[in-house]
Structure 1
Amino acid sequence: MNAPYLLPAMLALAVGTYALRWTGPAMRHRMRLSPRMIHLLDTGALILLAALVATTALPAGTDHLGLALPTGVAVGGVLAWRRVPLLIAILAAAATTALLRLLGVQ
């Protein structure tokens, strides 16, 4: 991509991302979802969370995985599943991994 087009492309993507994120709260009162659809969306979110935890906890292409990283990711996954704010879940996962590595657990 040529340099003169980089800034307009970045701005267009930023505006598109903001518009996409804004539509959820803006359309909240205009659309009614059935209880079945709400249940399916909740189930889909849980499946995506489980997939994220699995792919992060078990990175591909490593010979020695160790115990610190999967434990930290599991802590973060459980906290996210319990609906703890995402920033706290991420910080707890990082702190768990760091503490285990500080204690010598690889």
Structure 2
Amino acid sequence: MTSTIWWTIVGATIVTAVIKAFGPVVMGGRELPPRISGVIMLMAPALLAALVVTSVLADGDELHVGADFVGVAVGGLLMVFARAGILTAVLVAAALTAVLRLIG
């Protein structure tokens, strides 16, 4: 790997450490108000959902509904409406995506 890649990794590591240390330093050991704590707890699932949707729908510079979108959508619907477990939903989504790619 080139030195540019290593410097990028080192820079990203330092920036991440500074960002993670910022909250405790500013708060000084005090508890967050419940409303703010609730919002922070919901940020990770919202970010994960946004990354999944972006990854599934992105096709270069355009949005594209394809086999992977259908698989993820069916897996999500199974979890929400059929109360399927995560493993079942992932397996069904993967199988459906594979079948749709095979025939498409």
TM-score under structure 2 length normalisation: 0.47
TM-score under structure 1 length normalisation: 0.46
**Greater RCO structure (CA 8 Å; 6+ sep):** 1
The structure with the largest helix share of the pair is 2
